[in-house]
């Protein structure tokens, strides 16, 4: 089952979509990777959802990825005596460590790390920015603030500190338990929320130990300042525009989105653009025109994947949302200007392997080339090809099912599991056979084969072959 597009779709599963029959429908409609949000649901729910994805994978006949999205250290207010408090701009409002229920004058914040990070004049954003406070005084366990905007607060709303790094562990005890569970269930990707520094990713990698690929969610301004170091330690990133949009001015978000997509592409790391892509489809069978343009913009930027959140997890039209995203991506990639944009950002070749991959991309531009077939053990050869954004499809052949599932996130890559070739001739035969079988190599067409010798040894690709599929 081949999709006629290069950018991939990540669909979040939840109460509206985790039934096995619905997961199969979403995969058939074009979802490539399924996200499980560990902020909601039980581990038993998640185990059933993962089994549903594996059943759908068998039904559609192509590898599907599973992304476990850890909740992370979400900072929240305590409770109010009446469940809600009315406040007014200009009034004083106190944050403290007391467990006493709050009122219109104060509320508890059970996170000492917040007070350690505060500075006089800093802003505190509550409830996704609906309430804005300015700090006028602070200590180890309190902060005196002035209300600048907003008129209502309620129990357990989120708290953000724009432009401040909060000295809080990236992995909570809940995250550690969920991570152990997810790895035991065989997920393919693990996403870490609220990454602020490279050490956050280093800690995650030390726990994962290669049993899954790791992904950094960029949703804190502090992460933007340490971006290069974070990219050194992750295998993909997500532009998580929800919390990022709370802590950055609205006009800054699209600028940083482009910066993040560009940075990931230059490194050959898959990049997901996420949050509110087709938000109105949570309760509407069609998106707004602005949402369609937002999705299209991410495709024109060359993002590897676009993500649906509430639209598929809890919405009324999960199947329609995936179908619509598939339609928008496919239409953009048919635009005559789209290839020009992909060619305009070819990365600089910085290694012998990159030079060979770049040569494969250039050779694939011939009209007689049907596809590129990359043999890969770890997935690195296929990812190097995806970095080049070849306009012909890439068929990634691997003996490793885990590798194939992880490659479901990569731009333009069609992963398939095949037995490991025994020699170079067998390698060529397997490449042509799979090209024909998948429909990517019609009879009599040229196929480019990229592989490494000796066969089966992880390492850089070092041979590029030209072959032709048999004529009927």
**Residue 347: its pLDDT value, please?**
63
Q: What is the pLDDT of residue 424?
A: 83
pLDDT at 417 over 90: yes
**Do the Cβ atoms of 118 and 96 come closer than 8 Å?**
no
**CATH 2.40.33.10 occupies which residues in the chain?**
84-160
For the entire predicted model, the pTM comes to: 0.91
Q: At what angle do helices 198-208 and 173-184 cross, to 10 degrees?
A: 40
* 195 touches 218 (CB < 8 A): yes
Q: How is the beta sheet containing 142-149 ordered, strand by strand?
A: 106-108, 92-96, 142-149, 131-139, 123-126, 159-160
Q: How far apart are CA 226 and CA 47, in angstroms?
A: 35
Mean of per-residue pLDDT scores for the chain: 93
pLDDT tens digit string along 371-405? 999 999 999 999 999 999 998 999 999 999 999 99
Gyration radius (Cα) of the chain, Å: 24
Nearest Cα neighbor of 472 from 441, 449, 431 is: 441
Q: How far is residue 456's CA from residue 454's CA, in Å, rounded to a whole number?
A: 6
The helix (run of H) or strand (run of E) holding residue 107 is: strand 106-108
CA-nearest of 317, 321, 464 to 381 is 464
Burial of 314 (0-12, 13-18, 19+ CB in 10 A): middle
Point out the least confidently predicted range of 2-11, 278-287, 322-331, 349-358: 349-358
pLDDT per position as a tens digit, 208-228: 999 999 999 999 888 999 999
Which pair of tokens denotes residue 158? 């989120």
Pick from 344, 360, 355, 278: which is nearest to 312 by CA?
278
Specify the length of the chain in residues.
472
Q: What is the pLDDT of residue 350?
A: 60
CATH of domain 352-468: 3.40.1380.20
Which tens digit of pLDDT belongs to each residue from 427-451?
999 999 999 999 999 888 899 999 9
The values of phi and psi at residue 438, to 5°, are -85, -10
CATH number of 84-160: 2.40.33.10
Per residue in 58-111, pLDDT tens? 999 999 999 999 999 888 899 999 999 999 999 999 999 999 999 999 999 999
pLDDT tens by residue, 344-380:
776 665 666 678 888 888 888 887 899 999 999 999 9
pLDDT at 349: 58
Outline which parts of the chain fall under CATH 3.40.1380.20: 352-468
Q: What is the pLDDT of residues 116-165, one digit of tens each?
A: 999 999 999 999 889 999 999 999 999 999 999 999 999 988 899 988 88
Dihedral over Cα of 164, 169, 175, 180: its sign: positive
Buried b or exposed e, range 207-234, using 16+ CB within 10 angstroms? ebeeebbbbbbbbbbbbbebbeebbebb
56 and 23 Cβ atoms separated by less than 8 Å: yes
In tens, the pLDDT along 186-196 reads 999 999 999 99
3-state secondary structure of 156: coil
The catalytic site residues sit at 35, 76, 217, 275
Residue 76: DSSP 8-state:
B
pLDDT number for residue 4? 80
- Measured CA to CA, the distance from residue 214 to residue 183 in angstroms comes to 11
pLDDT score, position 102: 96
Domain boundaries 8-72+170-333, corresponding CATH code: 3.20.20.60
Query: What is the C-alpha to C-alpha distance for residues 264 and 334, in angstroms, rounded to an integer?
Result: 24
Ranges for all domains in the chain classified under CATH 3.20.20.60: 8-72+170-333
Q: What is the mean pLDDT of residues 31-51?
A: 96
3-state secondary structure (DSSP) of residue 405: helix
Which residues have CB under 8 Å from 210's CB, separation 6+? none
Point out the least confidently predicted range of 5-14, 20-29, 182-191, 448-457: 448-457
Given this model, what pLDDT does residue 353 score?
63
Q: Does residue 459 have a pLDDT over 80?
A: no
pLDDT band of residue 471 (cuts 50, 70, 90) is confident
Are residues 158 and 74 in contact, defined by beta-carbon separation less than 8 angstroms?
Answer: yes
pLDDT value at residue 144: 97
């Amino acid at each position: 089952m081949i999709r006629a597009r290069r950018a991939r779709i990540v669909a979040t599963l939840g109460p509206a979509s985790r039934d096995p029959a619905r997961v199969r429908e979403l995969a058939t409609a074009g979802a490539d990777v399924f996200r499980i949000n560990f902020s909601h649901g039980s581990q038993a729910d998640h185990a059933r959802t993962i089994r549903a994805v594996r059943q759908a994978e068998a039904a559609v006949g192509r590898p599907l990825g599973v992304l476990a999205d850890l909740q992370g250290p979400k900072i929240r207010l305590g409770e109010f005596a009446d469940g809600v408090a009315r406040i007014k701009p200009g009034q004083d409002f106190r944050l403290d460590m007391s467990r006493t229920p709050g009122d219109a004058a104060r509320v508890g914040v059970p996170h000492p790390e917040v007070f350690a990070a505060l500075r006089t004049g800093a802003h505190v954003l509550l409830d996704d920015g609906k309430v804005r406070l300015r700090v006028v005084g602070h200590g180890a366990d309190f902060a005196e603030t002035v209300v600048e905007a907003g008129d209502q607060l309620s129990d357990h709303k989120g708290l953000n500190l724009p432009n401040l790094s909060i000295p809080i562990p990236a992995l909570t005890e809940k995250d550690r338990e969920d991570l152990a569970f997810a790895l035991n269930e065989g997920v393919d990707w693990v996403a870490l929320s609220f990454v602020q520094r490279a050490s956050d990713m280093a800690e995650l990698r030390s726990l994962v130990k290669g049993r899954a690929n790791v992904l950094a969610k960029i949703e804190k301004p502090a992460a933007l300042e340490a971006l290069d170091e974070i990219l050194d330690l992750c295998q993909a990133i997500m532009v998580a525009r929800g919390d990022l949009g709370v802590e950055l001015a609205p006009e800054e978000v699209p600028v940083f989105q482009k910066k993040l997509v560009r940075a990931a592409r230059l490194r050959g790391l898959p990049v997901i653009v996420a949050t509110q892509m087709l938000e109105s489809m949570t309760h509407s069978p069609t998106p707004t025109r602005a949402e369609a343009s937002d999705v299209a913009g991410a495709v024109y930027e060359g993002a590897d994947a676009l993500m649906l959140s509430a639209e598929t997890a809890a919405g009324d039209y999960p199947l329609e949302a995936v179908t619509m995203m598939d339609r928008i991506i496919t239409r953009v990639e048919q635009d005559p200007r789209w290839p020009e944009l992909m060619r305009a950002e070819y990365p600089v070749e910085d290694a012998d392997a990159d030079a060979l991959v770049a040569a494969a991309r250039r050779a694939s531009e011939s009209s007689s080339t049907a596809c590129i077939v990359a043999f890969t053990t770890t997935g690195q050869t296929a990812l190097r090809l995806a970095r080049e954004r070849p306009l012909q499809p890439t068929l990634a052949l691997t003996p490793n099912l885990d590798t194939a599932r992880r490659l479901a996130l990569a731009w333009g890559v069609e992963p398939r599991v095949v037995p490991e070739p025994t020699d170079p001739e067998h390698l060529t035969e397997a490449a042509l056979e799979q090209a024909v079988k998948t429909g990517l190599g019609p009879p009599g067409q040229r196929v480019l084969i990229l592989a490494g010798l000796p066969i089966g040894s992880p390492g850089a690709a070092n041979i590029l072959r030209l072959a032709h599929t048999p004529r009927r």
